[in-house]
Amino acid sequence: MKMNTNPRTQKFPAFVKLCFTLLLLAGLSLNASAQSITAAGYAFSAHGKTFSYLTGGTRITTIEVDDGYTSIPLGFTFTFCGVDYTDVTVCSNGWLIFGTTVGSSANWNYNAVTGGDGIAPAVFALYEDISGVGGTSRYDISGTAGSKVFTWECRDWKWDFDAPTASVSFQVKLYEATGIIEVLYKQELGAVVLNFSGGATIGIANSTSDWQVLDGVGASPTSSSSTWKSNLSPVPATGQSYMWDPGPPCHTVTPITVTNYNSTSMSFNWTAVSGSLGYEYAIDFTTTAAPATATPKVATTANSIYKGGLKPATMYYIHVRNKCGATNYSKWEVISVETRPECSDPKPIIISRIDSTSIDFQWPAITSAIEYQYIIDQNRATPASASAAITQPGTFISQAGLVSGELYYVHYRSLCAGNDSSAWSLDSFRIPMPCRKPVLNLTNLTPTNAIVYWSEVPTAVEYEYYLGNLASPPPFGTPVKAHSFQAPYLSSATQYNVFVRCKCDFYNMKTTSDWAQLEFMTPFPLSIGNAAKDNAVAVYPNPVHDVLNITVSGRYEGSNISITDVTGRVVKTIAVTAQNMAVDMKGMAAGTYFLKYNNNNNQDIIKLVKE
């Protein structure tokens, strides 16, 4: 009679089937809807079946010894606790590890006292110091693709290793379609001899903290995740079957799609799974489907995720799985995405033209930028938003309508693919005050003398003037700090031209104004009749050092004397109170001065030199 090897469809006697159903409903209802990713979440059941020795398959002589182990292929992909395996490692001491990695002392590990002592992920068929000496071991792969069954058999095994005859045979079956793990036993003629150990462990383990083992070897033991049992005996009855069922598969999420990404962030989503209790995702540098152990797993009920704080030009892997129960998840799905290159900050601006109301400037182009934004204002603070920004593809700016003398700030940034942008860069410029030419005025004009003056020009630090007969501006003039100068010793009835310009300095921007021009003619001298003087003035010594003596002849009432420097600035005023006076000159700087004597009829000017 051909047996149905799929334990979910196999026909049991009605009573056994009823017991099995009640057991599942009573003890494992939380795990019935999805495939468990923890060993503790597997549903356990016990059954009575027929034990049949393997007659074909592949011999495993490596473990037909005391304390031996070897790795063998499964022939298909088997999922245990959410992880896929294609190989297992089997040991003569009654355990099977998923994968090919075992500890250095695995060949003698047996009869663990807690959590498998590192023998995990594993199936403990008869975890004890048993021996394959005198027995045979083989494995076989049966069934069709998608429904294959892997069977590992140990026949005529001694319990424990120094027993004189074999007392047990067992098989471990792994079902591809369901993920169920089954251990099946047969009693042999020899007796169990526990000379060196206290008994065996039967169960499954995902790690030293995630496992479940049986509390006995009868027809209906309890599989516990709280108490480790390592003292089980004797051999379970012939045909005794113990099964651990992860439950139906939890549907994976698919497809994972990246909808937007740039140099520092990405958005991704997947199709929502009907009936899902939520999802977990992780982002790391691990290429395998499952994320790295140390990578944080983020629980979410959303199926659309935004992730920021990434590194530019870096390959990331997005891992997502579906949650079907408290400990039940689908397999991890993974895709990769490389962030875009950094959206670099623009470099400092370069001013190509600036005047009193406008400016032209630009900044070096950024390779990764597709366009730029800028704001010109008088606020140094970083813009709170880009609502006032101007977006353009180039880096050249021509800005008019600015106010001379004002400081302006330029906020500008790069815009890159994927709605990416650099930080705002900041630069500034000040619109220069124009160096305007002065407005010239004339005073104290006589046949031989004149004073030229003008209002102070903002930003002017010096002036140049020329007095002569040139009709057009001179190439240069005489420097002067004041905004006036005196022109003595002029010729009467003569036409003169005055040119004055400003030398300006505005925040180290040095400029020169145009020449301002003033024309004037000195008057004719007084007639002979009017020229007769009823007084005269004389001074000595000249040059003078400390005291200047002044002598006035004729009438002096109402007269006064003023002393001016070469710029026309009055440095001393003297009321004439006598014909002979002495004037203290000690406080005056050395240089050239002009003494002016004024009365009601005439004016005399005398050049003085102060030593």
CATH number at residue 333: 2.60.40.10
Q: What is the dihedral of CA 227, 232, 237, 238, to 10 degrees?
A: 100
Q: How far apart are CA 52 and CA 3, in angstroms?
A: 11
As for how many domains the chain has, the answer is: 5
Give yes or no: residues 379 and 289 share one domain. no
Give yes or no: residues 447 and 421 share one domain. no
Taking only the tens place, the pLDDT of each residue in 18-62 is 333 333 333 333 333 357 889 999 999 999 999 999 999 999 999
Of 474, 495, 521, the last residue of a domain is 521
Note whether 197 and 214 are within 8 A (CB).
no
Of 410, 430, 450, the last residue of a domain is 430
Give yes or no: residues 235 and 260 share one domain. no
For residue 231, the 8-state DSSP code is -
Q: How far apart are CA 195 and CA 182, in angstroms?
A: 29
Whether 2 is covered by a domain: the verdict is: no
Give yes or no: residues 29 and 148 share one domain. yes
pLDDT for the residue numbered 16: 34
Whether 343 is covered by a domain: the verdict is: no
pLDDT averaged over every residue in the chain: 87
Give yes or no: residues 127 and 26 share one domain. yes
Whether 74 is covered by a domain: the verdict is: yes
pLDDT for the residue numbered 103: 65
Give yes or no: residues 110 and 163 share one domain. yes
pLDDT for the residue numbered 515: 96
Taking only the tens place, the pLDDT of each residue in 470-527 is 989 999 999 999 999 999 999 887 889 999 999 999 988 899 999 999 988 777 664 4
Q: How far apart are CA 528 and CA 530, in angstroms?
A: 5
pLDDT for the residue numbered 108: 56
Q: How far apart are CA 367 and CA 302, in angstroms?
A: 36
Give yes or no: residues 413 and 331 share one domain. no
Whether 63 is covered by a domain: the verdict is: yes
pLDDT for the residue numbered 112: 60
Identify the residue with better confidence: 468 or 445: 468
105 falls in which pLDDT band (50, 70, 90)? low
Give yes or no: residues 94 and 204 share one domain. yes
Taking only the tens place, the pLDDT of each residue in 569-578 is 899 998 888 8
pLDDT for the residue numbered 113: 57
Taking only the tens place, the pLDDT of each residue in 255-270 is 999 999 999 999 999 9
14 falls in which pLDDT band (50, 70, 90)? very low
Give yes or no: residues 400 and 490 share one domain. no
pLDDT for the residue numbered 18: 34
Give yes or no: residues 218 and 110 share one domain. yes
Tokens 């020329």, located at residue = 466
The residue type found at 44 is F
pLDDT for the residue numbered 446: 84
Give yes or no: residues 177 and 71 share one domain. yes
Q: Please compute Rg for the chain using Cα positions.
A: 54
Tokens 């004149």, located at residue = 450
Specify which residues 421 forms β-bridges with: 415
Q: Which range of residues forms the domain containing residue 281?
A: 256-338
CATH number at residue 578: 2.60.40.1220
Of 430, 464, 485, the last residue of a domain is 430
The answer on pLDDT for 250 being more than 60 is: yes
pLDDT for the residue numbered 531: 38
Q: How far apart are CA 408 and CA 385, in angstroms?
A: 19
- CB hemisphere CA count around 50 (13 angstroms): 11
pLDDT for the residue numbered 104: 56
114 falls in which pLDDT band (50, 70, 90)? low
Give yes or no: residues 486 and 554 share one domain. no
Specify which residues 350 forms β-bridges with: 362
